[in-house]
């Protein structure tokens, strides 16, 4: 088991570790351009130098209400499009080992994010692949917003 870097942060009320393998950088969320008609999982567009990122509301994707304290975003590219994942309380970037499958089923709303589990300093965190978050936001059918 390698020691991959993870971003320790909070999504809604849940402490999570996002795999940093695909994350290009973490930045503060600047001015947001609203996108009329977009699903609730999309907060809008933000500019990062000459790139335009689609800002996704991770709290909403995981089935919680919009979290106004999510002021930072993790930036990644998928299929040529740039995305920002709105996150709250970014604490640290740590190499994590001993990531293991979930011992028991999580709440259904987390299913689409296929989380795993890790213990650090006595805390238990959900480990999530950020690409899953983008996929869940893009396919509302697989996300369980109503849960």
Partner 1 sequence: MEDLLREFVGEALDQIEEASADLVAWERDPTDRDALDRIFRAMHTIKGSSSFFELPRTTGVAHAAEEALEALRNRRGIPDGHIILLVLEAFDVCRRLVSGVTPADGEPQLAVDELIKRLGDHVRRDPRHEMEAEPAAMAALAVAADPAASWRTVRVPLDLLDTLMNAVSDLVLSRNELVARLRAERVDIEAMPAFERFNAQLVAVRGIVSGMRMVPLRQIFAPLPRLVRQIAADLGKQVQFVAEGGEVEIDREVGEALRDPLTHLLRNAIDHGVESAQRRREQAKAEVATIRVSALRSNNRISIIIADDGQGIDVARVVAKAVAGSLLTAEAAAALSPQARLDLIFHSGLSTTDAVTNISGRGVGMDVIRANVERIGGRVSLDNAVGKGLTVTLDVPMTLTIVNALAVPVAGQDYAIPRAMVEEVMMMTSDWVQHCQSGGADFARIRGKLIPMLVIEKLFDGDAATDSDDSERALIILRGSGRRRVALSVPDVRDIEELVIKPVPAILASHGLFCGMSLPDSGRPLLVLDIESILMRCPEIVEERHAAEAASAVAVGEPWLFLTRHGSDSRNAVPMAAIDRIVDVPRDAIIHAGGRWFAHMGEDIMAVAADFASLPASGMVRLVKLALGNRTLAIDAADIGHIVQIDPATIRPADQMGVMGISMFGHEMVELIDVHAMLSATGAAVARSTEDQAAPATIWLMSGDEASGALRLLAPLIEQAGYRCKSATEADTIPADADVILRYLDSGADNRIEVRRGTASQTVNLWDRAALLAAIGGERAA
Q: Is 33 in the site for partner 1 (CB under 8 A)?
A: yes
Q: How far does Cα 68 stand from its chain's mean position?
A: 15
Q: Is 22 in the site for partner 1 (CB under 8 A)?
A: no
- For partner 1, give the closer residue by CB, 120 or 132: 132
114-to-35, 50, 72, 104, 123 alpha-carbon distances in Å: 28, 33, 23, 13, 19
DSSP calls for 7-42? EEEEETTEEEEEE-TT--EEEE----B--TT--TTE
- For partner 1, give the closer residue by CB, 22 or 39: 39
- For partner 1, give the closer residue by CB, 30 or 95: 30
CA count, 13 A, side-chain hemisphere, 116: 17
Q: Is 141 in the site for partner 1 (CB under 8 A)?
A: no
Number of residues lying near partner 1 (CB under 8 A): 23
Q: Is 104 in the site for partner 1 (CB under 8 A)?
A: no
Instruction: In angstroms, give the least distance from the CB of 85 to partner 1.
Output: 13
Q: Which residues bind partner 1 (CB under 8 A)?
A: 31, 33-39, 41-42, 45-47, 49-52, 54, 79, 81, 83, 137-138
């Amino acid at each position: 088991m390698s020691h991959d870097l993870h971003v320790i942060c909070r999504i809604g009320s849940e402490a999570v570790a996002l795999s940093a393998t695909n994350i290009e950088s973490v930045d503060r969320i600047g001015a947001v351009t609203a996108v009329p008609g977009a699903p609730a999982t999309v907060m809008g567009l933000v500019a990062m130098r000459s790139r335009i990122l689609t800002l996704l509301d991770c709290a909403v994707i995981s089935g919680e209400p919009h979290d106004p304290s999510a002021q930072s975003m993790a930036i990644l590219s998928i299929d040529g499009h740039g995305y920002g994942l709105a996150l709250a309380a970014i604490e640290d970037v740590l190499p994590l080992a001993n990531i293991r499958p979930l011992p028991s089923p999580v709440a259904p709303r987390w299913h689409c994010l296929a989380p795993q589990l890790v213990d650090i300093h006595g805390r238990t965190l959900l480990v999530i692949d950020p690409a899953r978050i983008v996929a869940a936001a893009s396919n509302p059918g697989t996300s369980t917003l109503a849960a």
